Chain A
Amino acid sequence: DSGVTQTPKHLITATGQRVTLRCSPRSGDLSVYWYQQSLDQGLQFLIQYYNGEERAKGNILERFSAQQFPDLHSELNLSSLELGDSALYFCASSVGLAGAGETQYFGPGTRLLVL
């Protein structure tokens, strides 16, 4: 158990809908990262937040947005969902102070299926 929690574990929705994925980082970790894992794209970095502020952005679609709240939990919002958004979405956390070389601890993921 990494100490990172994600809810829900599974999510089934329809095209055009909007969903929110939630992540609680390990106690004491200030950085939260979101990754998407799909069969065709592999594991891809989406976005990073550090202590409430956006720190880095990857291949995140404009239909997707994220935020980190004062209690450090994070939410990933996916809107106008398409079939191709079906994937595993992972949240990871790290202490957030040392940059490269900090271990990122991954949560169990949320499996999203868009029908």
Chain B
Amino acid sequence: QQQVKQSPQSLIVQKGGIPIINCAYENTAFDYFPWYQQFPGKGPALLIAIRPDVSEKKEGRFTISFNKSAKQFSLHIMDSQPGDSATYFCAATRSATNKLIFGTGTLLAVQP
């Protein structure tokens, strides 16, 4: 059973565009929602994370929007750059464990 659903599978935007990646979860016990960025040949790296007690979090050009009632959260990348081209994974976990449940990933290409 897939507990975190992620869409789209791939995304192409022009430089300066605002790609949006969406995730939905099922387990209401989840209380921490990180986003990871992965470049080819590298391990995932934490980008930004949010807890369900806030509806939005910004760090630089990256923003997470969180809708607790809909059990959905999304990543927005402002003023996207070719260097942002990577695979993005949403994830979820709960306080009893730090076991990350990952979405299926979104391959983002930012064209110059």
Q: Is there an interface contact between B97 and A90, defined as CB atoms closer than 8 Å? A: no
For chain A, the bracket of interface size reads: 20 to 34
Let me know if A44 is at the binding interface, CB within 8 A. Answer: yes
Select which of A2, A94, A106, A109 is within 8 A of B98 by beta carbon.
A94
Q: Answer whether A101 and B46 are a contact pair too, CB < 8 Å, given A43-B89, A44-B102, A45-B101.
A: no
Select which of B42, B97, B103 is within 8 A of A100 by beta carbon.
B97
For chain B, the bracket of interface size reads: 20 to 34
Report whether over half of chain B's contact residues are helix, strand or loop; otherwise say mixed: loop
Interface centre among B34, B51, B96, B98 (most CB of A within 10 A): B98
User: Which residues between 26 and 54 of chain A lie within 8 Å of chain B, taking CB atoms?
Assistant: 31, 33, 35, 42-45, 48
Interface centre among A100, A103, A107 (most CB of B within 10 A): A100
Let me know if B31 is at the binding interface, CB within 8 A. Answer: yes
Q: Is there an interface contact between B89 and A100, defined as CB atoms closer than 8 Å? A: no
Task: Enumerate chain A residues within 8 angstroms of B104, measured Cβ to Cβ.
Answer: 42
Q: Is there an interface contact between A31 and B43, defined as CB atoms closer than 8 Å? A: no
Closest to A98 in B: B98
User: How many angstroms between the C-alpha atoms of A35 and B44 in the bound complex?
Assistant: 11
Task: Enumerate chain B residues within 8 angstroms of A101, measured Cβ to Cβ.
Answer: 32, 49, 51, 95
| Beyond known contacts A48-B97, A108-B43: 13 more, CB 8 A cutoff | A2-B45, A4-B43, A33-B99, A43-B102, A45-B99, A56-B98, A100-B97, A101-B49, A103-B34, A103-B49, A104-B46, A105-B45, A106-B36
Smallest CB-CB A-B distances: 6 pairs:
A106-B43, A43-B102, A100-B32, A100-B95, A56-B97, A100-B93
B residues with a Cβ closer than 8 A to A are 31-32, 34, 36, 41-46, 49, 51, 89, 93-105
A residues with a Cβ closer than 8 A to B are 2, 4, 31, 33, 35, 42-45, 48, 55-56, 58, 90, 92, 94, 99-109
